[in-house]
Chains A and B, each alone.
Chain A
C-alpha cells in the first residue's frame, strides 16, 4: 500500500506546537449547547479519537474544526488559521469525511475521484498517478467504472476516504468513518488510517466504538458537549477507580442486588450474563462475593480479576460525570 505523503508543514502550528487548537470552543443551538467550552490541542501527526455516545455532538465538533460551521463562542485554529476568519486556507489543507456518505451516487468511482481532483486543482500527470494510487490503496481499482451508489457500505467509506486524500491533506477529519461497516471492513479501514498516521498525517476521528479508541494516540471523551477527559488510551483506562472483578453468576439480577449491598463495591456494570464490579481491592471482594452468593444459593461460573477495558472506563467516567452534574447542576 502506498499513500501520498503529507506535504511538509510550513510552520503552521500554534505557539505550543499544536496543529489544531481550540479554546473554550462553544456551539449553542436554539435549545441545546452542542459543544460546551471545548479546549484541546492536537499535535501534528496524532491520531486523535473523539469518543462519545450517540448524540454527544461529535459531529458538531468536527464540523467546527473543518470550518464548515461557525462557533457561537471561543475559537479554533487549524493549521495555523482561524476557522471563522480564514476558512478557505484551512479547506485547502484538510480532508473532511462526513458521517453520511457524501459522494455522488450517480457518478462512478473514477468520476468521483476526478471531480474532487478538479475541485482541488490536482492536474497533469500527478493527478492520474494519484488517482491510480488511491484506487489501489482503497482496493477499488477493479470497481473504477461502478457507480458509487452501487458499492457496498465499506467500499463507499473507502471511496470517500480516497476522495478526501486526493489533495494530500495535512489533516483529515473523519466523522464516524466506520459506523455501519462490517467488522472486517472496519479493521481494514483502521489499517488504512494507521498507515496514514505513520506517514505523518494528523487524523481526527470520531467514533462510538471503544475498541477503535485503543488505536488512537490520544482520545477525547465527550459527554453532553463537554470534554470529560483527554489523554492517551492507557491513561484514560487507568483513571477508572480501583480494580475490576468479572463474574458470570447463574442469576444476574439477584446477584446484582446482592452485590450492591456489599462493602467495597464502587460500581457494577452488566454485560449480558456477565457482571463487572469496580472495587479498591479485587481479592478481598472476590472472597466476599463467594460467601454472599453461597449463602443465597446462587451458582457462579468463572470469577476473576480483570483489567478495565476502554468500554468499562468510558461508562465509569460518564457515570461519574453524570453524578457530578446532578450534585452541582
Chain B
C-alpha cells in the first residue's frame, strides 16, 4: 500500500467533487435542506383539532361540559350539528375530525347519580388525529366527571376523606415537556447525514460509465489504495455538512445539544465511514450512475428511514428485519444522535453503538475491496 498513490486518488476525487460548483453546493447543503423539510413534516405537534358537538340536552351541565372540552387549544369547536342525521355528512366532508354527541337527559342522569352516556364519533381515516381527539376528549371528560363528583361529595360528610388511592406522578426525563421536536430532530439528523453517501455511490460507477476505470485497472494501483482513495474524500465532503445540520437543529428548531459537540462530530465521522463503505460497495456492482443513485436512494433514504427504528419500533421487527436494521448505520446513529442531543450521553454510554458502526463499516469496506476486481 502506497500513501502517495492513495493521496493521488484522494486529490483527483476531491477535484471531481468540487469542480462542479453546483453539485458540490448541493452536496454540502442537501443534508441540512432535507433536515429542514423533514423536520417540518414530522415535528408539528397536533393541536387545534376541529371537532363538533351535538348537544341534545341543552342543559347548564351539558354546556359546562362543552366548555371544558374547549378549554385548551388541543381541540377547537368547529361545527354544531343540530340533529343526528347531520353528523354523517359532516364527518364525510371532513368538517370535523370527531363529533361529541350529548344525549337528552345528560344532566338529569348526572345529578341523580345514574350513569350518563356520551358518544364520540371519530374519523378513523387519520389515526394520528383521531387518537389525539380521543385522548383529549376522554381526558377532558374524566376531569369533568371528577369535578362533578367532588361537588356532589362536598355536599355530604365524606368530603374530608376525599383522596386519590394512587398518587401517580409522571416525569419525562431528558425532555420534560415531551416536545416532539426535541426527540425527532436529532433522529432526523442521523437520517439526513446519509444523504452524502448517495454521492459516494457514484464514485466507481461514474468511472465505469466514463470509461476511465478501464484505464485505471491497467495501472499498478492497488485495490485497497483505490478504495481508500475513494472513501476519504467523500467522508470529508459529508463531514462538512455535519456542523450545518447541528446548527439547523440547535438554532433553527431550538433543540438543545446537551452532550459534547466534539463527541458528536467524532461519531459522525465513524457514521460516515460506515455509510460511505456501503455506498462504495454498491458502486462496485452498479454498471451506471443511474443504477447507483437509484440503489443508494433505496438503501439510504427509504430503508435507512423506515428501518432505523424511527417509524417502526424494533420490537415489531422479525429476526431478518432486525439483522437488516442492524446493518444500516442509520439505526445506530439515530440512537447516538438522540443520546448526545437529548440525554447528553458520553462515549461510554454509546460505545456499543459506535462498535456496531465500526463493525458494519469494516465489513462493507472489506467486501468492497474483495468484490472490486481489476478486470473488465
Contacts and interface: CB of A to CB of B under 8 A. Distances in A.
Given A91-B220, A98-B215, A118 B8 contact: yes
B218 interface: yes
Quick one: which of A101, A103, A104 has the most chain B CB within 10 A?
Answer: A104
Q: How large is the interface on B (under 10, 10 to 19, 20 to 34, 35 or more residues)?
A: 20 to 34
11 contacts: A94-B218, A97-B215, A102-B210, A103-B212, A103-B215, A104-B16, A106-B19, A118-B4, A119-B219, A123-B4, A160-B215
Contact of A91 (B5, B11, B12, B219): B219
Interface stretch (A62-70, A189-197, A223-231, A299-307): A62-70
A100 B220 contact: no
A102 B2 contact: no
Interface string B11-30: 11001100110000000000
A234 interface: no
Contacts of B220: 88, 91-92, 119-120
B19 A118 contact: no
Contacts, number: 73
A68 B15 contact: no
A22 to B, nearest CB: 17
Please give me the 3 A-B residue pairs with the lowest Cβ-Cβ distance, nearest first. Answer: A118-B8, A102-B215, A96-B218
Given A118-B7, A119-B5, A119-B221, A69 B375 contact: yes
Interface string A96-126: 1110111111110001001110111101000
Interface residues of A, number: 33
Given A104-B12, A106-B16, A118-B4, 8 more contacts: A67-B218, A68-B375, A91-B220, A98-B211, A98-B214, A119-B216, A119-B221, A123-B4
A7 B217 CA distance: 22
Interface in A8-43: none
B21 to A, nearest CB: 12
A106 B374 contact: no
A279 B217 CA distance: 50
B210 A105 contact: yes
B15 A107 contact: yes
A49 to B, nearest CB: 20
Interface of A: 63, 66-70, 87-88, 91-92, 94, 96-98, 100-107, 111, 114-116, 118-121, 123, 160, 163
A100 B7 CA distance: 26
Contacts of B12: 104, 107, 111, 115
Nearest to B211: A100
The SS class assigned to the B binding surface is helix
Given A98-B211, A104-B12, A106-B20, A66 B4 contact: no
Contacts of A103: 212, 215
Contacts of A107: 12, 15
A91 B214 CA distance: 12
Contacts of B217: 68
A91 B16 CA distance: 25
Contacts of B212: 102-104
A67 B219 CA distance: 10
Contacts of A91: 218-220
A111 B7 contact: no
A87 B11 CA distance: 26
Contacts of A106: 15-16, 19-20
Interface in B13-67: 15-16, 19-20
B376 interface: yes
A96 B376 CA distance: 13
Contacts of A63: 376
A118 B15 CA distance: 15
A57 to B, nearest CB: 13
A121 B6 CA distance: 11
Contacts of B4: 118, 121, 123
Nearest to B15: A107
Nearest to A108: B15
Interface in B359-376: 374-376
Contact of B8 (A88, A101, A102, A115): A115
Contact of B214 (A100, A111, A114, A121): A100
A163 B8 CA distance: 15
Contact of A96 (B8, B215, B221): B215
